[in-house]
Structure 1
Amino acid sequence: MIGEHSSKQYDNELEAIRSKVLLMGGIVETQFTDAMTCFRVGDIEHADRVIAGDDAVNQLEVSLDDACSHLIVRRQPTANDLRTVMATIKVITDLERIGDEAAKIARMSKNLHSRGVVGVNHFEMVRTIASETSDMLHDALDSFARLDGKQALALIAHDVVIDHEFRSIMRNLITFMMEDPRTISSALDTLWVAKAIERIGDHAKNIAEYVIYVVEGKDIRHTKPAVVSTQSDE
């Protein structure tokens, strides 16, 4: 009975942590959406709120890391339980970095619109990659909430599309800068925004990899998508 009671307490504590992680995920999703709105419309006050909101995400990271550490010390989880806690810690780190990237987009938005846009339709340049990355982040959090390994695997493969889109944006912006030097400042700001979006896609992919680690016990980081797919089919 004591062991059963202790196990139930552990499950409740872990579920409370997972709920807060998903809350943190919802916050950074909103940060990213709001940052892209700032980039589109040039709302500097809104951009300041996005930047200021990063403090709340940082505090959540600290408190959740502490909760996970205490859970390990008190409950001493093993096997799959330990994998779940360790993966959750890594997800928390990636979410905090997504918040950092969203704040970076907001800062670039302020820079761009305070100077005035010259020659480049900055939002249209990144609209597609932003939409795809937003969907990817949402699905990564959904796969984490449901521990859906198949959904996570599909997300990892999709990151290749995001990377390809970023390289295409970079080539186009370099062309703009070469053809008209007046576009250099605004094009560079747009390039940094595109890079921040691409990094958010990388963090979403990381979350998907941690889901597979929990579900299947496989560490597939730094593994090519085709190899990952083959391993999953075995």
Structure 2
Amino acid sequence: MTPLENEITALKKEIINMWILVQSQLNKAKEAMVSFDKDLAREVLVKEKRVNSYELKIDLDCENIFALYCPVAVDLRFLLAALKINTNLERIGDIAAGIAIYVVESTVNFDVKALESTSLLRMYDEAVNILTDTRTAFEKEDTMLARSIFKRDDVLDDINEAAPVAVAEVIKGDLNSIPEALYILSIIRKLERVGDQSKNIAEEIIFYVEAKILKHQESSQRDLEGE
């Protein structure tokens, strides 16, 4: 392998390690929410610093590779994609930390029936699965799997859109549940953004593997449809 190939391989491993950490953060935040484990939630908040450290390290490594090797073609596309994927992963880490904060701040346990009736648990599982599959797509350079993320994100969008009515029903059932219900609504909003970040990552995978920029294509298509 050339020195550049070694650097690219090492960078990819770093991104995957960050990915695994972010997935773990999301899973632990969910466990803390369901079991109302404030200590586990605090652990998520402490480890958020590791996520931020990964982001800074990966950014620096990308800059060094640009400066030292002047990459072109697929290597250049990979580095450009890596920078954006890195940012999206860090934002998902922030979302996990935000959910953990709700657990720490809440004075009442989250009611499992409320979590189920609002489809929060289903949404959480799907958000984690989507993030896991984007990682698989990244590792295997599987653009077909990456493309599947776009449709699966619709599930998260649908739950998010239905959330206000579902949360209102929880409140109607028990007026004392208002603080908990508002936390549930906020978590649903955050999980919807996990889907958005995962879609962004899927687009970057397709970009560096196939040299296709989906965002520009989608904008052009919308322009043509508007004519």
With normalisation by structure 2, the TM-score equals 0.89
Q: Say whether residues 1:195 and 2:189 are aligned partners.
A: yes
- Partners of 2:191 and 2:139 lie apart in 1 by 23
Q: How much does 1:63 deviate?
A: 0.7
Q: How much does 1:222 deviate?
A: 7.3
Counterpart position of 1:46: 40
- Partners of 1:210 and 1:15 lie apart in 2 by 17
Counterpart position of 1:70: 64
- Partners of 1:165 and 1:34 lie apart in 2 by 22
- Partners of 1:122 and 1:104 lie apart in 2 by 20
After superposition, give the CA deviation of every residue in 1:10-62 in whole Å (9 maximum; x if it has no partner).
01101100001000000000000000000000000110000111000000100
Q: Say whether residues 1:57 and 2:51 are aligned partners.
A: yes
Q: Which of 108, 111, 115 matches 2:108?
A: 115
Q: Say whether residues 1:32 and 2:18 are aligned partners.
A: no
Mapped contact 1:111–1:189 kept (Cα < 8 A): no
Q: Which of 208, 213, 216 matches 1:214?
A: 208
- Partners of 1:221 and 1:39 lie apart in 2 by 35
- Partners of 1:122 and 1:106 lie apart in 2 by 18
Matched AA of 1:182: N
Q: Say whether residues 1:183 and 2:168 are aligned partners.
A: no
After superposition, give the CA deviation of every residue in 1:79-116 in whole Å (9 maximum; x if it has no partner).
2221110001111111111110001111112233x234
SS at match of 1:115: coil
Moved over 6 A (4+): none
Mapped contact 1:98–1:203 kept (Cα < 8 A): yes
SS at match of 2:83: helix
SS at match of 1:218: coil
Q: How many residues align?
A: 217
Q: How much does 1:176 deviate?
A: 2.9
Q: How much does 1:171 deviate?
A: 2.0
Instruction: List gaps (5 residues or longer) in structure 1.
Output: 1-6, 228-234
Q: Say whether residues 1:85 and 2:79 are aligned partners.
A: yes
Instruction: List gaps (5 residues or longer) in structure 2.
Output: 222-227
With normalisation by structure 1, the TM-score equals 0.87
Mapped contact 1:120–1:186 kept (Cα < 8 A): no
Matched AA of 2:103: S
Q: Say whether residues 1:23 and 2:17 are aligned partners.
A: yes
Q: What's the % identity of the aligned pairs?
A: 29
- 1:155-194 equivalences in 2 (<5 Å): 155-177=149-171, 180-194=174-188
Matched AA of 2:108: R
1:191–1:223 Cα change, 3 Å = farther
SS at match of 1:97: helix
Mapped contact 1:173–1:187 kept (Cα < 8 A): yes
Q: Say whether residues 1:136 and 2:130 are aligned partners.
A: yes
Mapped contact 2:153–2:199 kept (Cα < 8 A): yes
Q: How much does 1:160 deviate?
A: 1.4
Counterpart position of 1:153: 147
Q: How much does 1:166 deviate?
A: 1.7
Counterpart position of 2:4: 10
